[in-house]
Structure 1
């Protein structure tokens, strides 16, 4: 579905269900050079088990119009504007990587509006190497290859993710190329990485979050190392840490484990 937020048409995948104001809502926020599709298994399950699902393409990404957010804070304000546009007084926020910082900042800015916070593949600080920042501008194909090398711990996913025989590296590269090409005016690769690298509010934001917080981390994650996620969890009021056997691309490398962790967390 398309939602008008701040004058721009924003795409949100709903799992094939119509938004029902009587049901709880969960918003899924993707990472750099990703889109709504990275949450396909988790969103479809929740949409068919009593939740309104809004798996968004961030502004200026994929099927969404608008200007790509240049900072985590700007993106967090967008998420809160999205909730207002939907008339959702409260929602759960689930974010992966860059999206986890966005969800964290939104929950800190409006704690009464967030019922649950799930940070998937997160870290703070989320620094990006100068070489990768430069490559995202000067040699995006090289940067995409670098990100995929550090994001995966296996070549093929379990059947419940994308199907037997799927090549995770190739599928992820194709998605990243598609998202990069979706906005010829702005390099959303560099913009997203720069926003992650520049975010300095994590330690202040975490104690301001009032709701339960799930830290869902990959045991073999080289992009956002588990120790950095655990350090951030130390600043949370109500933290639960779940570690799965995956790299940074948790949703495709450990799809069932991610789904079950989110399902169980959102039930409480």
Structure 2
């Protein structure tokens, strides 16, 4: 596994287990010198998605004192390889990616930010690697993530209904009445389009991994400070579902985003950026 810097036109390339990994860096090209002054932040997406869900955050981070690396999990976005079938496998992969980042950018620690399925992956990684994870930020998280049978069946059949259900349940009421903090963009349509880009079987594999996951004592084993960001209108991981995790963290802050649903990074980008500014400092 190696991490290679390239020309600005191709930005930044990462390889883990011999496979290319899609990475978004917010328009900056990191190197050891810049990373020494700007802490590295690794961002991990949710089920069926990819690094582009962080586009409202990566550029801001890159220009406000951080080195963001939003990665595509294997089999997602621009990453090669097959999608991993369990949160535990994804966590092992992420740990290897953190190792590669540390070697290339000469950084001893990273900050992990995860959304939905990515929050589970980041929690497991932080629980297993106390030395290299300095801070943990979780969005749309829960101790367990059961999946509705209708959604799981639609995903298994690669039906458009799966992206439609994930989009409908994943957004708060404001997103359903054409309210968008970024004028000119259709939030719901963009979410469906993103999920439809997933390769056949990927959404089903991810949802099965979420449904099978149980946090156990993972949060209790995390030693770094944690921040949990919850949306008041999150139907997929309601705020109450995060309560067991929050209670188990030794050091945890909770940020409530009023009116935001599960896709809070797009629904309330300013609120998410504010939460990151505080949590990552």
Query: TM-score when scaled to structure 2?
Result: 0.88
Find the counterpart in structure 1 of residue 171 from structure 2.
152
Q: Structure 1 CA distance, aligned partners of 2:157 and 2:28?
A: 41
Deviation at 1:30, TM superposition (A): 0.3
Q: Structure 1 CA distance, aligned partners of 2:55 and 2:79?
A: 17
Residue 115 (str. 1) matches residue 104 (str. 2): no
Find the counterpart in structure 1 of residue 21 from structure 2.
10
Find the counterpart in structure 1 of residue 229 from structure 2.
216
Find the counterpart in structure 2 of residue 33 from structure 1.
48
CA deviation profile, 1:186-222 (whole Å, cap 9, x unmatched): x11011001111112x131101100111100100000
Q: 1:48–1:133: structure 2 CA closer, same or farther, 3 Å change rule?
A: same
Deviation at 1:71, TM superposition (A): 0.6
* 2:119 paired residue among 96, 100, 112: 100
Deviation at 1:120, TM superposition (A): 0.3
Find the counterpart in structure 1 of residue 87 from structure 2.
72
Find the counterpart in structure 1 of residue 273 from structure 2.
259
* RMSD (Å) for aligned C-alpha atoms: 1.3
For the Cα contact (< 8 Å) 1:157–1:166, is it kept in 2? no
* 2:249 paired residue among 208, 226, 236: 236
CA deviation profile, 1:163-200 (whole Å, cap 9, x unmatched): 2142211110011111x2xx35xx11011001111112
SS of residue matched to 1:18: coil
Residue 49 (str. 1) matches residue 79 (str. 2): no
Deviation at 1:126, TM superposition (A): 0.9
Find the counterpart in structure 2 of residue 196 from structure 1.
210
Q: How many equivalent pairs are there?
A: 258
Deviation at 1:157, TM superposition (A): 4.6
Bigger mean CA deviation after superposition, 16-25 or 187-196: 16-25
Q: Structure 2 CA distance, aligned partners of 1:233 and 1:90?
A: 23
Find the counterpart in structure 1 of residue 96 from structure 2.
81
Find the counterpart in structure 2 of residue 24 from structure 1.
39
CA deviation profile, 1:106-137 (whole Å, cap 9, x unmatched): 00111111111001011111111222211111
Structure 1, unmatched stretches of 5+, are none
Q: 1:6–1:111: structure 2 CA closer, same or farther, 3 Å change rule?
A: same
For the Cα contact (< 8 Å) 1:59–1:69, is it kept in 2? yes
Structure 2, unmatched stretches of 5+, are 1-11
Query: TM-score when scaled to structure 1?
Result: 0.93
SS of residue matched to 2:193: helix
Mapping 1:126-205, distance limit 5 Å:
126-153=145-172, 154-155=175-176, 156-159=178-181, 163-178=182-197, 180=198, 183-184=199-200, 187-200=201-214, 202-205=215-218
For the Cα contact (< 8 Å) 2:180–2:187, is it kept in 1? no
CA deviation profile, 1:67-97 (whole Å, cap 9, x unmatched): 2111101111111111111224210000000
For the Cα contact (< 8 Å) 1:83–1:89, is it kept in 2? no
Segments of 4+ in structure 1 off by > 6 A? none
